[in-house]
Amino acid sequence: MSRIHPAENQCAGKYVEEEENCIRNCEHDPYDSPCVLTVWKRSSMSFQGTDGFTVFDSCGKLAFRVDNYTRKDGGGLVLMDGSGNALLTLKPQMLSMQYQWNGYRGEAYRTSPKSREFAMRRPRSALIHSITSSSSNNKKECEAEVFMGSSSSSQPNKQNRISPDFKVEGSFRRRNCKIKTSSGALVANIARKRVVNSTVLLSDDVFSLAVQPGYEPQLIMAFVVILDRLSPKPFAPVLCS
């Protein structure tokens, strides 16, 4: 089986300065190069009944993980660092026709439910398109919108709502989409991952996330986790007896 992430000893045996440079590849210094992560849609916990994400940095070290023990979203999901520390808690909100998820720093929702970091949802146009079409060839179609800030400062459901801070264009289900700012600046790119030194594509469960300098990789990874929940699943016909 091909290795899905960079060799873990890529930084071993080199000078300390080179190892530090390798680590800095995933820090959000505006003068650094893009942070390239390998995302594996699989929980780091190996026992049956769990799902989630395991994310490696450019050195093959565990950067982020999401372990969902119940395969249910009702209690939310927690994005953790490699050591298991909670970075962002993601909670679903299904009080309207537009399926929405809210993100909180750490586990802030427990003590301050209104201290929302961001809200992410599918726009109405994407909902209508998912009903009328099983596939999309329009790479510029908006799959999701992100509104930064607390619930008191931004209300995407209001009639005169503000513009989203970020938007997702393309098809996450096909692992071919971009995250952009409201002005159109590229924030991150999601793409299929290839076997090293080959044109062979790996399965959809393994893909690349390239985060541009100046943006928090953990925040963008939280967007990816929610995209997986918002993305329409392949149509499965219901058989009647």
pLDDT at 95: 62
- What pairing do the DSSP bridges indicate for beta strands 118-121 and 206-211? unpaired
Residue 106 has phi, psi (to 5 degrees) of 55, -125
pLDDT for residue 225 is more than 70 = yes
pLDDT at 194: 79
Confidence category of residue 109, pLDDT binned at 50, 70, 90: confident
pLDDT at 240: 40
- What distance in Å separates the CA atoms of residue 50 and residue 3, rounded to the nearest whole number? 22
Closest CA relative to residue 189, chosen from 202, 173, 208: 208
Q: Do the Cβ atoms of 143 and 149 come closer than 8 Å?
A: no
- Domains of the chain, earliest start first: 31-230 (2.40.160.200)
pLDDT at 17: 40
Where would I find the beta strands (DSSP E) of the chain? 35-40, 51-56, 62-68, 77-81, 86-93, 100-105, 118-121, 142-148, 166-171, 176-181, 186-192, 206-211
Residues in contact with 133: Cβ distance below 8 Å, sequence separation at least 6, in sequence order: none
pLDDT at 123: 86
- Tens digits of residue pLDDT in 158-198: 544 578 999 999 999 999 999 999 999 999 999 998 777 66
The listed range with the strongest mean pLDDT (28-37, 101-110, 145-154) is 101-110
- What distance in Å separates the CA atoms of residue 230 and residue 185, rounded to the nearest whole number? 23
pLDDT for residue 217 is more than 50 = yes
Q: Does residue 187 or residue 72 have the better pLDDT?
A: 187
- What distance in Å separates the CA atoms of residue 144 and residue 230, rounded to the nearest whole number? 8
pLDDT at 10: 46
- Tens digits of residue pLDDT in 141-165: 789 999 998 754 445 555 445 789 9
pLDDT at 18: 38
- What distance in Å separates the CA atoms of residue 77 and residue 74, rounded to the nearest whole number? 9
pLDDT at 200: 65
pLDDT for residue 232 is more than 70 = no
DSSP for residue 201: B
